[in-house]
Amino acid sequence: MFATLVKSLEKQNIDVTVNDSKLKLKFTTQIACGEDSEGEEESKQDCETREVQVCFQVFQVDEDKHCGDFTYKDAKTKHHLTSDYGA
C-alpha cells in the first residue's frame, strides 16, 4: 500500500518526502476551499482552491493488520483541516 501510493504520486510529478523508518510520507497539493478547522467559512472571492500539506502514515494494528492515517494542514497557516473540508 505505501509503495504503491509513493509510486502513484511520483507518476503525477508530485514531490513526496518519505520517511521509510516511520512509514510516513508528506506532499503538497491543491483542494477546493470550504470551511477551515475553526469553523470559519471562506468566501468564494477569497479562495477557489487551497494549497494543503498531506501527511500519510501507516500504523501496525496487530501482526496481520495495518491502517493508514491521512492528515491535512493548510500549507500557509499550518492549521489542521477537518475531514469534511473536501480533502
What residues contact residue 70 under an 8 Å CB cut-off, 6+ apart?
A: 54, 55, 56, 87
What residues contact residue 79 under an 8 Å CB cut-off, 6+ apart?
A: 36, 37, 38, 73
Question: Is 0.95 surpassed by the pTM of this model?
Answer: no
Answer whether residue 49 shows pLDDT above 50: yes
Q: Kindly report, residue by residue over 3-30, the tens digit of the pLDDT.
A: 888 999 999 999 999 998 999 999 999 8
- Is the model more confident about 81 or about 69? 69
In the chain, pLDDT over 70 holds for what percent of residues? Answer: 78
Which one-letter DSSP state was computed for residue 48?
A: S
Mean pLDDT for the chain? 82
Residues 19 and 13: their CA atoms lie apart, in Å, by: 18
For the chain, give every domain's residue range: 2-85
